[in-house]
Structure 1
Amino acid sequence: MDGVLSLDEVLSLDTVGQAEAVRNGVVSPREPAEAAIARIEALDGELNAVIHRRFDQALAEIDDIPEDAPFRGVPILLKDIGWESAGDPCGSGSKILDGVVADHDSHGTAALRRAGFVILGRTNVPELATTITTEPLAFGPTRNPYDLAYSVGGSSGGSAAAVAVGMVPVATASDGGGSIRIPASMCGLVGLKPTRGRISHGPSLAESWGGLSTTGVLTRTVRDTAALLDLLSEMMPGEPYAAPAWRRPLAEEVGADPGRLRIGFVTVHPRGDVPEDAEATAAVTRMAESLDSLGHEVVPAHPEALGDPEFAMYHGALISANVAAELETVAAWRGRPVELAELEPHNRLVADAGRSMSATDYLAALRLLNGYRRRMARWWTAGPGTTGYDLLLTPTLAVAPFPLGWISDDEVYLALERAGLGAAFTAPFNSTGQPAISLPVHRTAEGLPVGVQFVAAAGREDLLVRIAAQIEATVSFKHGPFRHFE
């Protein structure tokens, strides 16, 4: 990389590209952060992606970054739930955490700092991260840069909007039912939910949402996703899960030949109560055709367990119980109980259900989901009575890209139903703990992004990176245009 880059050229680079530009002296360690700050200040008044800014602190920290830090000077934003950063608010999209400030860095945040990332602030999330649109009452809605009337998805919605419009090349995320993959689909990004146990929740938590939730990142390129997962996958002592080790770094899988894969695909949810969406079907169908042209064996097939009509009830039970438990933690932080009236209407229902659940009820739901995980896993395993598949291809979001207000607490039961339908293809793989990735391969007639999801067996992020890189190189991922900002 030679010559001098303009601010726009700096921001057009992905994470790896910005790091290389700093390392090669094409830009100074301050310039990427300064360019990112300028873009946030120019665009975020309308997008509302960044709800806490720490620009002065961030710029002051740059001089202390070691010269050999691999991502020296690259700006990043943190999702405002989990991902604690010492001295900064941690609001989780809710008024119940007003005034709460983190007293430590999470394990992941500390790893980012050591690697040289410059943390510019924290991104918007729905209250307690319990729905698939980012419209919290505490901070207001985040708007989709492709159309300001549309949702960015959730719960990592602020992170998705910021990366999509190029405020930063990468932002952190988490996923308990689709919260990395759904915003990736809505904003035209790469979003990989890692295998359960791949990235630590420490030191504050051993697990999140009973093992349903994992952390990760949102990026514009496959190589960025691979590089960040390599960085973040170092575990703390005493973790409750151990993800299978990779044979080499994920960065080395980018561009590696995936071989001829056996890929099953589905366009209509086998549960029977999820209406078919024409855009989702078109995205998967075209992707299946592309995979066939690349030499893969692509057949209509899916795990039988994906159609289990009871899955959503047990998945929801775990979320409800864990949200209720989180409120007890908040009560301890602030020194007084959390009343249901302090929550948004949908979270009143979620928390009330959790508070009314017995320990026996919770363990029964956990036992049933453990059985579900074993039934699902058989589909990816060749053995007696099974054919074995390498990957499953599905829609990411089971509904069409939706406008702000489509999931509204004005009709709270309808809001919960719509959120559950939207996550119908993503949530099962939080329960199984398998890795899954959303890729931006389709647009509606109006130009809104639509993603497709690939799911691999536990531990096989390497295979997801290989197929994603192959698709990126042949189908290509288009970012923009953002008509409102051009």
Structure 2
Amino acid sequence: MDLDELLWAGADAQAQALRDGTVSAPDLLEAVLRRADAVDPRLNLFRIVYAAEARAAAAEAQRRLDAGERTPLLGVPIAVKDDLDVAGDVTGMGGRPQFPPAEQDAPTVARLRAAGAVIVGHTNTPDRCLWPFTETLTHGATRNPWHLDHTSGGSSGGSAAAVAAGVVGAATGSDGGGSVRIPAMFCGLFGLKTTRGLIDMGPEEHWHGLSVVGPLGRRVADAAAMLDVIAEEDHPGGLYRDSADTDPEPLRIALAWRTPLGKVPIEAQRKQAVLETAERLRALGHEVVVADPPLGVRPTQQFMIRYLRGVADDVAALPHPEWLEPRTRRIAAVGRRIPDGVLARTRAAEHDLDGRMRGFFHDFDVILQPGWTGRQPRIGRYHGAGAAHTLAGVSMGIPYFPTWNVLGYPAAAVPAGRDSVGLPMGVQLIGPSFGEHQLLSLAGQLERAHPWAGDRPAL
């Protein structure tokens, strides 16, 4: 496989080629940097590329490979979302950086670096990672490699687009209300919102427990290999990468159409993609029946209180809130009105929702749900819009995502074909807490039966 082809093979295949010695880490990195130079002017993937630092890291990774060391990502170029600290660089989170360069790596970055992954750069996000589109007054719009007039999603839009465009084989994302799953679906990738607590995010929760770190990859194996590096080590189940290769036993799968907002309109092609996925799962030997989790409307209130107050607390810690976009400041102003007591009662109420879902997961192993309910927004759809207009607009697309952030459960975004204009579509698979092995196993089985990674955007 030549270098250009290897760029499209994904992080796991790149790691195997490095282990086999069919490519060197420095040569692979140079191909990545050439690809980034070629497509970044059109897509706006990176806030910064660490060319010199990455070359030094690739040389060190090759030394480790030559010495016989092996890790899941040794020598593999990886992009990092611009919400995780990378030592020596500022962390912009979509806007003008508020703090000096980081003195040390975030835990996820430190784990990647220790495993020999080559950190390529910081990818673009919306302002303070608030939105399901990546378009800011500071850095402009990140475009979807499949259709440049449309967004790559958010808030991990730069990371998803970098993988979809064949620059890197995997990237980090984070998900506080769909921010891994939405860009994965928009860009035709596999993405995994992980269980709360599975990946170390430092000493403080983000958005009061809503947000977690998760991997994005071209294939299930890419995300699984990254998870073996960045996840905490005290949860049983063996290697995540092995689960991606192992078919699950026949599972009981609930096809859930209802959201906390009730039954919501879904664009016809995207609804059909869910139904076709259900049929594919049945053909693989699984039982799929229509059944809705017994949660009612409460997850919406839970999410909004924690999201709004989380944004307010984030902004309150910034030295220059006046540098933020107007709608970000407005969201923070609303969040500041939420009293501590209301927030505390909201967090305590999660226990009852979790109890209800534990009962549901006695009857079912996995939930199948739609993802974004319509076509990806066009670039500029929310440019200059106020907080209320933006929040109301994106809320129409996201009703299937926030419940799983409230509960802290794992949820996978799985590609499910493309629509009539060539834009990717996707579905969600949700499991109980620390159910990542089962989700990777089921998604891997689906991918083997119906591969999705062979198609490439015609940039």
- Above 0.5 in TM-score? yes
Whole-angstrom distance in 1 between the partners of 2:368 and 2:187: 19
- Residue in structure 2 matched with residue 241 of structure 1 by the alignment: none
Cα deviation per residue 1:199-228 (whole Å; 9 max; x = unaligned)? 0012xx332211111101100111111111
Whole-angstrom distance in 2 between the partners of 1:80 and 1:174: 10
How far has the Cα of 1:49 moved from its partner?
0.8
How far has the Cα of 1:360 moved from its partner?
1.1
- Residue in structure 2 matched with residue 213 of structure 1 by the alignment: 211
Which of 407, 417, 428 aligns to 2:392? It is: 417
Q: Is this contact kept in 2: 1:266–1:301, CA < 8 A? A: yes
- Residue in structure 2 matched with residue 385 of structure 1 by the alignment: none
How far has the Cα of 1:328 moved from its partner?
2.9
**Within 5 Å, which residues of 2 pair with 1:97-246?**
97=97, 100-202=100-202, 205-234=203-232, 245-246=235-236
Which of 347, 358, 366 aligns to 1:377? It is: 358
- Residue in structure 1 matched with residue 286 of structure 2 by the alignment: 296
Greater CA deviation, 392-401 or 364-373? 364-373
- Residue in structure 2 matched with residue 238 of structure 1 by the alignment: none
Cα deviation per residue 1:300-333 (whole Å; 9 max; x = unaligned)? 112021xx334323312112222222223222xx
Whole-angstrom distance in 1 between the partners of 2:307 and 2:427: 25
Whether 1:471 and 2:454 are equivalent positions in the alignment is no
Whether 1:84 and 2:85 are equivalent positions in the alignment is yes
Greater CA deviation, 258-267 or 451-460? 258-267
Q: Is this contact kept in 2: 1:200–1:206, CA < 8 A? A: no
How far has the Cα of 1:411 moved from its partner?
4.8
Q: Is this contact kept in 2: 1:321–1:351, CA < 8 A? A: yes
Gap regions ≥5 residues in structure 1 = 236-243, 332-336, 382-387
Whole-angstrom distance in 1 between the partners of 2:417 and 2:195: 26
Change (3 A) 1:353 1:120: same
- Residue in structure 1 matched with residue 404 of structure 2 by the alignment: 429
- Residue in structure 1 matched with residue 37 of structure 2 by the alignment: 41
Whether 1:399 and 2:387 are equivalent positions in the alignment is no
Whether 1:327 and 2:329 are equivalent positions in the alignment is no
How far has the Cα of 1:364 moved from its partner?
2.3
Q: Is this contact kept in 1: 2:260–2:399, CA < 8 A? A: no
- Residue in structure 2 matched with residue 444 of structure 1 by the alignment: 419
Identical counterparts, % of pairs: 36
Aligned residues: 453
Q: Is this contact kept in 2: 1:266–1:394, CA < 8 A? A: yes
Change (3 A) 1:246 1:434: same
Cα deviation per residue 1:384-425 (whole Å; 9 max; x = unaligned)? xxxx10111001212322212334442542210122232211
Cα deviation per residue 1:163-200 (whole Å; 9 max; x = unaligned)? 00110001111000010001000000000111110000
- Residue in structure 2 matched with residue 63 of structure 1 by the alignment: 59
How far has the Cα of 1:375 moved from its partner?
2.4
Q: Is this contact kept in 2: 1:346–1:416, CA < 8 A? A: no
Whether 1:21 and 2:17 are equivalent positions in the alignment is yes
Which of 319, 338, 344 aligns to 1:357? It is: 338
Q: TM-score, normalization: structure 1?
A: 0.89
Q: Is this contact kept in 1: 2:15–2:74, CA < 8 A? A: yes
Whole-angstrom distance in 1 between the partners of 2:312 and 2:436: 32
- Residue in structure 1 matched with residue 255 of structure 2 by the alignment: 265
Q: Is this contact kept in 1: 2:302–2:406, CA < 8 A? A: no
Q: TM-score, normalization: structure 2?
A: 0.94
How far has the Cα of 1:136 moved from its partner?
1.4
- Residue in structure 2 matched with residue 390 of structure 1 by the alignment: 365
How far has the Cα of 1:268 moved from its partner?
5.4
Whole-angstrom distance in 1 between the partners of 2:257 and 2:29: 41
Cα deviation per residue 1:39-94 (whole Å; 9 max; x = unaligned)? 0000000100111111012102322332314233211110001x211001200112
Which of 234, 246, 253 aligns to 2:243? It is: 253
Q: Is this contact kept in 2: 1:407–1:419, CA < 8 A? A: no
Q: Which amino acid is 2:150 matched to?
A: Y
Q: Is this contact kept in 1: 2:299–2:402, CA < 8 A? A: no
Change (3 A) 1:24 1:255: closer
Whole-angstrom distance in 2 between the partners of 1:278 and 1:100: 48
Q: Secondary structure at the match of 2:321?
A: coil
Q: Secondary structure at the match of 1:58?
A: helix
- Residue in structure 2 matched with residue 282 of structure 1 by the alignment: 272
Gap regions ≥5 residues in structure 2 = none
Q: Secondary structure at the match of 1:30?
A: helix
